[in-house]
């Protein structure tokens, strides 16, 4: 490619620094392929996109504007303007319903029962301490009061429900070029500086490596 004729992201090698570029002589010529951002410089650039100053070039970590003839150009990567990032599905704050208890005569005594989708909770009445049974699974403990046994059953039921709920899906927040990531120096801090790489909000061209971050999202309630 001679040089780009429209704005966008392109692979390029920075060979010559534009006049006034800080440490330009030390940074160029570079044999490293990196993503360069080609921008509209002249509002009427489309009339003659090949004109020297119709389009300008930006590089990550370089504050001074560069020009197209400063580079050896590679392939087009992606347009400048990103599509909006799809919003993650809101996480769900789960509100688990209270157990519904009933009393039934089960010889040799009455029992307090609560049927659920995960199993049957039962508490034999007329004895102290109160023993909480999870039917076919064994005892869950002994309690001084009926209310304490019911509270333990509620806590156990909620724990079983929450453990069955799928975790909130992880969503990529930006995309990077795998080639640029693999070419980063092992430790940029060795030279007292930072390494810069461009990122996109959406996958396009060679920007296919997803990067993730934890994000706060609104909660909505759901009854179970």
User: What does the domain layout of the chain look like in residue ranges?
Assistant: 8-85+171-212, 97-164
Residue with the two structure tokens 């909505």: 220
60 or 100, greater pLDDT:
100
- Indicate whether 219 pLDDT > 50: no
β pairing state of 219-223 and 91-95: parallel
Q: What is the pLDDT of residues 25-75, one digit of tens each?
A: 999 999 989 999 999 999 899 999 999 999 999 998 888 999 999 999 999
Q: What is the pLDDT of residues 162-217, one digit of tens each?
A: 777 655 555 677 888 887 777 776 665 555 556 678 888 777 777 877 777 654 44
Taking a C-beta distance cutoff of 8 angstroms, is the pair 217, 90 a contact? yes
Measure the CA–CA gap between 187 and 94, rounded to whole angstroms. 44
């Amino acid at each position: 490619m001679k040089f780009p004729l429209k704005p966008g992201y392109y692979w390029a090698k920075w060979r010559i620094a534009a006049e006034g570029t800080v440490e330009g002589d030390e940074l160029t010529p570079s044999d490293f392929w990196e993503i360069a951002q080609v921008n509209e410089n002249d509002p009427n650039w489309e009339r003659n996109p090949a004109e020297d100053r119709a389009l300008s070039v930006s590089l990550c970590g370089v504050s001074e504007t560069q020009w197209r003839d400063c580079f050896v150009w590679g392939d087009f990567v992606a347009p400048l303007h990103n599509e909006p990032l799809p919003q993650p599905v809101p996480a769900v704050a789960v509100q688990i319903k209270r157990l519904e208890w009933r009393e039934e005569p089960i010889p040799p005594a009455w029992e307090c029962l609560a049927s659920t989708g995960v199993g049957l909770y039962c508490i034999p009445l007329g004895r102290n301490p109160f023993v909480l049974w999870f039917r076919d699974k064994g005892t869950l403990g002994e309690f001084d009061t009926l209310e304490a046994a019911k509270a333990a059953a509620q806590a156990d039921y909620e724990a079983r429900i929450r453990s069955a709920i799928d975790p909130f899906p992880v969503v990529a927040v930006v995309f990077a070029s795998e080639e640029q990531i693999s070419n980063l120096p092992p430790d940029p801090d060795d030279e007292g500086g930072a390494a810069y790489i461009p990122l996109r909000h959406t996958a396009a061209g060679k920007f296919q490596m997803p990067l993730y971050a934890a994000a706060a999202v609104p909660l909505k309630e759901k009854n179970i």
